[in-house]
Structure 1
Amino acid sequence: MHSDSWALKAKKLGLRSRAVFKLEEILSKTQALRHDSLVLDIGSAPGGWSELIKSIAPSSEVYAIDLLPMDPIKGVRFFQEDLMNLEAIEEISSLKLKFNLVISDLAPNLTGIRAVDEENIYELNIVTLKTAITYLNKSTGSFIIKTFQNSLFKKLRTQMEKSFHLVQTYKPAASKSKSGEIYLFGDKPL
């Protein structure tokens, strides 16, 4: 399916973004979402991923965080906050080492300067990875992160491999073919 077709399909279904199809495919392949999961959605706006989690596993508890505003979703606790301030959110920080799934569709604002953008993406991915390791349950935890194929991708994957028992790479069908967007999946933190 062409990327514009995915966007039209999302619009027709009343979904917040076509990114839901990407997460849905990865969840289907990894079986990372259980019916009563505790989920942390990083970079959650506009809310498509949180909405998908609640539709697949309605009894799951979802905590979402983003700098941008997000329209409410029934059963999702949203915090409009910087990821760097996550520790200050008592409702989330009290759940350290308990989350079954951490998902991140986070991306920095791009400058158009390749070296700067690649470094910003990498740094944001590392902060997100460290957050996942801090909050994931060591025996049942899984992590899904959006990143980009660039000169620092292998370095990020190596960091993931040092942090999880299993690491897999996914390029979902709903991703634009020309996009460098790619997803990493980590299972069971070390």
Structure 2
Amino acid sequence: MSGPTRGGTGGRSLGGRTRLRNRRGRSVSSARWLERQLNDPYVKRAQLEGWRARAAYKLIELDERFGLFQGVERVVDLGAAPGSWSQVLLKRRPKARIVGIDLLPVEPIPGLEFVQGDFLAEGMDDRLVDLLGGPADLVMSDMAANTVGHPQTDHIRTMALVEAAADFATRVLRPGGTFVAKVLGGGAEGQLVAELKRRFETVRHAKPPASRKESSETYLVAQGFKGPVQEGQA
């Protein structure tokens, strides 16, 4: 993971806060994002501890609260790039079998079986289960749709992605398995939560401390998958 202060993006300190020295060629939003990265303690900590992204701490905190990794042997990491969630799981469950998938490439991580592709592609669920050697114990997703800057549109696009991930999870999880996914606040997740409550024993929202306060993101944690829907139960 390359540090945010490389490649001419260094800053100067003002009252303990780092400010960009040179904003030339950067949009206002890009400059603000870069300043936030420079001053984010989780970003600095991730660099020191070898995580590929600050998102690692979100998963660590979710596991500490919900015991996501207990007894886990097979895991699917949806939207795996750049690999920090897989890093966390491999550190905590080194014998687990993990298959990651993303449209973007991921630099190799020992212990991660990576597929570059679309998890929505026909037959991909069967392919990933074959790579795992059986149904998954955990499906995790830190995916979000590319933003366009319009909150309602960004929310709807991300929720469509989360709904697809949830549907995927119900096809590849073993009974008793867990699904965890990022959602963006916006009030459109009620139908998804209702469906998850029908398919899992417990469904809870959580905002881990590593999630930025100004962000609308939260995480849905669905545990105790009840198994495939039988005929007549739909």
Do both proteins adopt the same fold according to a TM-score greater than 0.5, normalized to the shorter chain? yes
Distance 1:40 1:14 in 2: 22
| 1:65 equivalent among 83, 87, 101 | 101
> Paired residue for 1:144?
180
Deviation (angstroms), 1:96: 8.9
Q: Deviations over 1:86-127 (max 9, x none)?
A: 624754143597110110001110112233222211111110
> Paired residue for 1:99?
136
Contact in 1 for aligned 2:119/2:125 (Cα 8 Å): no
User: Which of the pair has the greater relative contact order for Cα pairs under 8 Å at 6+ separation?
Assistant: 1
TM-score scaled by length of structure 1:
0.91
Distance 2:140 2:125 in 1: 18
Structure 1 vs Structure 2: percent identity of aligned residues? 29
| 2:148 equivalent among 111, 123, 126 | 111
Distance 2:203 2:134 in 1: 19
> Paired residue for 1:87?
123
State which drifts further: 92-101 or 48-57.
Answer: 92-101
Contact in 2 for aligned 1:50/1:62 (Cα 8 Å): yes
> Paired residue for 1:13?
49
| 1:179 equivalent among 212, 215, 219 | 215
Q: 1:141 to 1:65 in 2, by over 3 A?
A: same
Deviation (angstroms), 1:151: 2.1
TM-score scaled by length of structure 2:
0.75
Aligned residue type for 1:137: R
| 2:204 equivalent among 150, 156, 168 | 168
Distance 1:169 1:97 in 2: 28
Runs of 4+ off more than 4 Å: none
Which stretches in structure 2 are left out of the alignment for 5+ residues?
1-35, 227-234
Q: 1:6 to 1:76 in 2, by over 3 A?
A: same
Instruction: Tell me whether 1:123 sits opposite 2:143 in the alignment.
Output: no
Aligned-residue Cα RMSD (Å) equals 2.0
Deviation (angstroms), 1:34: 3.1
Tell me, what secondary structure is at the counterpart of 2:194? helix
Q: 1:56 to 1:126 in 2, by over 3 A?
A: same
Q: Deviations over 1:14-61 (max 9, x none)?
A: 210111110011111111213551000000000000011000010000
Distance 1:129 1:96 in 2: 21
Aligned residue type for 2:150: I
